[in-house]
Amino acid sequence: MPVDRNVKNYGAGMKVRLAAMSGWFPGLSNVEMVEQIAAYGYSAFENLGAGKWADKEAVKAKCEELGVKPGAISGGGTINGDGPVNLGNHAQFEAQVREAIRNAKALGSTCLVGLSGALRERLSLERQMDNLVLAGKRVAPMLEDAGITLVFEMLNTLRSHPGYFLVYSDQGADLVDRIGSPNVKLLFDVFHQQISEGSVIDNLSKFSAEIGHYHFADNPGRHEPGTGELNYRNIFKAIAATGYTGIVSAEFSLTPNCTSDDVMRIMADCATW
């Protein structure tokens, strides 16, 4: 399908910079997707796999033309496997981050997602945190030189990712504070943190200095706002109140009757007050 330039400019009044998911626009090329979200008045998109796109440079050029910013891309580590909580994984983690920095520069992204890896049964939690701190310190200088931020993602283990190491906001904040680099932060995923600990607004406010990127979805179901229990207008207001000016990225699948136009309207409505 061609780009529809006659869509409503839903995003014009948004108070936070929401990123649409690139996959919501089937039939469009990646460059056309950028044009489509710009037509909706949005200024960001996200696809964690975009660092591997063959047309990164063309996407970057179109983004620069239209004032659109690519969100985070995959940076290194893993969810279920052997990640940087293992000291023996650090060389591999460094290599992953180096490659991700190259990909981010080609795409125009300034944010990488880092994953801690799974818990290691024979190591104490304290030793695993020490290892994760060392991994962050190891890659911090290259991130600072590149002007790119690595955000370690916290994930829920109650429903989605049993065995993952980095779960709670206070745990993540301790990690970031101990690494001590302005280019290593947290990814606060509202969906995951609602499941893990609740008190979403309290926690994102308390740990705002350590947060460098956001993901969001409603809960339960991991679909668009309005399908679950979370009040996203209040959550977006709270994010704005912290002074955060970065990208707040959608990360969810659409319910069967929700169209791409529907979700762009729904999200913009939550972010406009």
CA dihedral for 157, 236, 228, 36, sign (positive or negative) = negative
The answer to whether 34 and 3 have CB atoms below 8 angstroms apart is: no
Write the single-letter amino acid at 265.
Answer: R
Residue 221 CA to residue 268 CA, distance in Å, equals 20
Nearest to 149 by CA among 196, 121, 114: 114
Question: Catalytic pick from 46, 153, 197, 224?
Answer: 153
Q: Is 144 a catalytic residue?
A: no
* Annotation marks residue 197 as catalytic: no
- Rounded CA gap, 75 and 114, in Å? 5
Angle ∠(10,15,105) on CA atoms, nearest 5? 90
SS3 214: strand
Q: Which of 35, 46, 210, 251 is catalytic?
A: 251
Residues with active-site annotation: 153, 251
